[in-house]
């Protein structure tokens, strides 16, 4: 199963891996034609009702594979309103192929011009995973029309006859990717302004690459068609993963989350790097809880941080209440940078995690405590391979072998894990991602603190798996940008400055 958001990311990652969307559309169109051949004979009348996006584009391709059928293509709107280049190209290819293709400028005003009557098969290619909000006109009127002519769901789903007694049978309605108006993730139909919930009542669905959660509840046959998306597009992180960050234009302060960094003691740089990285990776507000002894120095690094000093040189159980209280009001805690491993500190870590039930990124010396502590917290652990071993985790030279072992380690641990390496392995115990950005220049100290801060900021708005995958991708990409510019010799603060650029996609 795959969500619409994840599908868009995988689609973009496939494109970045050299599999153009036009090829995916060609495969999708081919799959639709195969589905139609499985339920109707050549010579049957197939009417393809096409929207102005790539969902419509898929059906425009299918029409070219159905030349031995009576094909009628009806585009809802003018050619200029087709929203993507690849769909427009497929529209233009139709007129060259002398297929009965008509752009219906005002389909809501003239539904009869869709020539739905007399169809043996109606293809619903109006709206797919790109639908936003309740269905608008002209799709509302056309959906009503298709449901009227189609006889509603469950009408005889097998139009195995040719055109001979089409009138005796309602046409079979085949939906492309998802019935128009149905949310691919939830299966729900958003009510329109008049409160009416309108969606195509399809007899069958042809969906692409992987099942969609929202189709399971429809109770009609769903064909999942392979459209040539390489497995690498799902396994490896890529620019498509950044689409999940889509910033709502009207978002305002506080939407992107508040992070608390709990760290410092023997080391002052680490919590500062994590905190500044969280700011750069999009957190609205970042606080640092650290020992009094380093508070002034941490504050000195950036006036954008709110620093809370706790008495003494290292954090200890006596600080538990104060720091737990601070954590209460935050979205994510980044726990561990520079904490050190004094006994009192590790006891503090164990008691904090045991009591905390929010989201936390756990890094550095705090990691060794995680396997022993019972916690209701949702953790993202970010060990390097040595820290993973100290957690009792697996070690394997080959990254593929390591990936599988880490996935089951994370499943046993009950938390997401990001194991840093030339290939970072990211998993929540079920899904698995591998990040290949980054370079040997990044073994310099502090890059792990920058990563932990970035993952912390992202975990305010993303799932633990997504936050870790995107964090690893952006951290490594920032490192690559720095090395491209000035060769090796990068320092951790260089990464922080390049995070905003590394988190932007022009997809």
Residue ranges of alpha helices (H) inside 356-459 are 385-390, 399-413, 447-458
Contact flag: residue 139 with ligand LP7C6HRI (CB under 6 A): yes
- Dist. CA 87–CA 276, nearest whole Å: 44
Contact flag: residue 90 with ligand LP7C6HRI (CB under 6 A): no
Q: Is 54 annotated as a binding residue?
A: yes
Q: 130 vs 371, which CB is nearer to ligand LP7C6HRI?
A: 130
Q: Candidates 113-121, 129-137, 160-168, 477-485 — which segment interacts with ligand LP7C6HRI by CB under 6 A?
A: 129-137
Q: Is 180 annotated as a binding residue?
A: yes
Label residues 485-501 b or e (16+ Cβ within 10 Å = b): eeeeebebebbbebbee
Q: Contact 453/278 with Cβ under 8 angstroms? A: yes
Binders in 179-208 for K ion, by CB under 5 A: 180
Token pair of 460 as six digits: 């305010």
Token pair of 440 as six digits: 């040997």
Q: Candidates 10-18, 119-127, 149-157, 161-169 — which segment interacts with K ion by CB under 5 A?
A: 119-127
Contact flag: residue 132 with ligand LP7C6HRI (CB under 6 A): yes
**Binder of ligand LP7C6HRI out of 35, 58, 120, 201 (CB under 6 A):** 58
Q: Is 18 annotated as a binding residue?
A: no
Q: Name the binder of 147 from K ion, ligand LP7C6HRI, none, CB < 5-8 A by kind.
A: none
Q: Is 377 annotated as a binding residue?
A: no
Nearest to 66 by CA among 89, 42, 85: 42
Q: Other CB atoms closer than 10 Å to residue 257's CB: what's the count?
A: 22
Nearest to 69 by CA among 179, 159, 156: 159
- Dist. CA 482–CA 496, nearest whole Å: 10
Q: Contact 381/417 with Cβ under 8 angstroms? A: yes
Q: 342 vs 431, which CB is nearer to ligand LP7C6HRI?
A: 431
Q: 44 vs 180, which CB is nearer to K ion?
A: 180
- Dist. CA 140–CA 181, nearest whole Å: 9
Q: Contact 354/375 with Cβ under 8 angstroms? A: yes
Binders in 153-192 for ligand LP7C6HRI, by CB under 6 A: 176-177
Site mask, K ion, residues 139-178, x = CB under 5 A?
------------------------------------xx--
Give the number of residues in contact with K ion, rule: CB under 5 A.
4
Secondary structure class of 432 (helix, strand, coil): strand
Token pair of 386 as six digits: 């040595």
Q: Half-sphere exposure of 212 toward its Cβ, with a 13 Å CA cutoff?
A: 30
Token pair of 284 as six digits: 């609205």
Q: Candidates 104-112, 132-140, 145-153, 464-472 — which segment interacts with ligand LP7C6HRI by CB under 6 A?
A: 132-140
Contact flag: residue 35 with K ion (CB under 5 A): no
- Dist. CA 357–CA 375, nearest whole Å: 7
Contact flag: residue 492 with ligand LP7C6HRI (CB under 6 A): no
Q: 61 vs 502, which CB is nearer to ligand LP7C6HRI?
A: 61
Contact flag: residue 363 with K ion (CB under 5 A): no
Contact flag: residue 54 with ligand LP7C6HRI (CB under 6 A): yes
Contact flag: residue 124 with K ion (CB under 5 A): yes
Q: Which residues pair with 332 in a beta bridge?
A: 259, 359
Contact flag: residue 91 with ligand LP7C6HRI (CB under 6 A): no
Q: Candidates 45-53, 266-274, 458-466, 493-501 — which segment interacts with ligand LP7C6HRI by CB under 6 A?
A: 45-53
Q: Name the binder of 58 from K ion, ligand LP7C6HRI, none, CB < 5-8 A by kind.
A: ligand LP7C6HRI
- Dist. CA 103–CA 136, nearest whole Å: 18
End-to-end CA distance of the chain: 23
Applying CB under 6 A, the residues found at the interface with ligand LP7C6HRI are 7, 11, 24-25, 28, 51-58, 83-84, 127-136, 139, 176-177, 208-209, 227
Q: Which residues are annotated as a binding site for K(+)?
A: 55, 124, 180
Q: Which residues are annotated as a binding site for (6S)-NADPHX?
A: 54-58, 128-134, 177, 270, 338, 384, 449
């Amino acid at each position: 199963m795959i969500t619409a958001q994840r599908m868009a990311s995988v689609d973009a990652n496939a494109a970045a891996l050299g599999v153009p969307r036009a090829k995916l559309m060609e495969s999708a169109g081919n799959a639709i034609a195969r589905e139609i051949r499985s339920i109707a004979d050549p010579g049957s009348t197939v009417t393809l009702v096409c929207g102005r996006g790539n969902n419509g584009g898929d059906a425009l391709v299918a029409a070219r594979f159905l030349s031995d059928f009576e094909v009628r293509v009806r585009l809802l709107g003018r050619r200029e309103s087709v929203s993507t280049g690849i769909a427009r190209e497929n529209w233009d290819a139709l007129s060259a192929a002398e297929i009965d293709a008509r752009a219906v400028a005002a389909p809501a005003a003239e539904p009869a011009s869709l020539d739905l009557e007399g169809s043996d098969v109606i293809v619903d290619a109006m709206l797919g995973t790109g639908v936003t909000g309740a269905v608008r006109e002209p799709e509302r009127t056309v959906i009503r029309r298709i449901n009227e002519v189609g006889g509603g769901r469950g009408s005889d789903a097998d139009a195995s006859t040719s055109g001979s007694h089409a009138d005796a049978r309602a046409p079979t309605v085949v939906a492309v990717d998802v019935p128009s108006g149905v949310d691919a993730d939830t299966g729900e139909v958003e009510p329109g302004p008049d409160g009416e919930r309108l969606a195509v009542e399809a007899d069958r669905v042809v969906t692409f690459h992987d099942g969609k959660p929202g189709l399971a509840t429809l109770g009609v046959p769903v064909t999942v068609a392979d459209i040539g998306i390489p497995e690498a597009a799902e396994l490896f992180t890529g620019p498509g993963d950044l689409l999940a960050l889509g910033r709502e234009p009207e978002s305002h302060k506080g939407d992107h989350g508040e992070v608390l960094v709990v760290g410092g003691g023997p080391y002052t740089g680490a919590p500062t790097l994590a905190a500044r990285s969280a700011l750069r990776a999009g957190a609205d507000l970042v606080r640092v809880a650290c020992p009094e002894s380093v508070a002034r120095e941490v504050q000195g690094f950036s006036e954008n941080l709110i620093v809370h000093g706790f008495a003494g040189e290292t954090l200890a159980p006596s600080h538990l209440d104060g720091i737990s209280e601070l954590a209460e009001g935050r979205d994510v805690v980044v726990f561990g940078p520079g904490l050190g491993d004094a006994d009192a500190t590790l006891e503090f870590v164990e008691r904090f995690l045991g009591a905390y039930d929010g989201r936390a990124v756990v890094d550095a010396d705090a990691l060794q405590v995680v396997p022993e502590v019972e916690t209701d917290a949702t953790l993202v652990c970010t060990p390097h391979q040595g820290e993973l071993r100290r957690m009792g985790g697996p070690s394997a030279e080959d990254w593929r072998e390591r990936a599988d072992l880490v996935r089951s380690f994370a499943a046993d641990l009950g938390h997401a894990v990001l194991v840093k390496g030339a290939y970072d392995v990211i998993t929540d115990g079920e899904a698995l991602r591998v990040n290949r950005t980054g370079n040997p220049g990044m073994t310099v100290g502090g890059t792990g603190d920058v990563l932990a801060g970035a993952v912390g900021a992202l975990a305010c708005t993303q799932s633990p798996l997504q936050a870790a995958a995107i964090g690893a991708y952006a951290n490594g990409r920032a490192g690559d940008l720095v090395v491209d510019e000035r060769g090796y010799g990068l320092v951790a603060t260089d990464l922080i400055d390049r995070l905003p650029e590394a988190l932007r996609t022009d997809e």
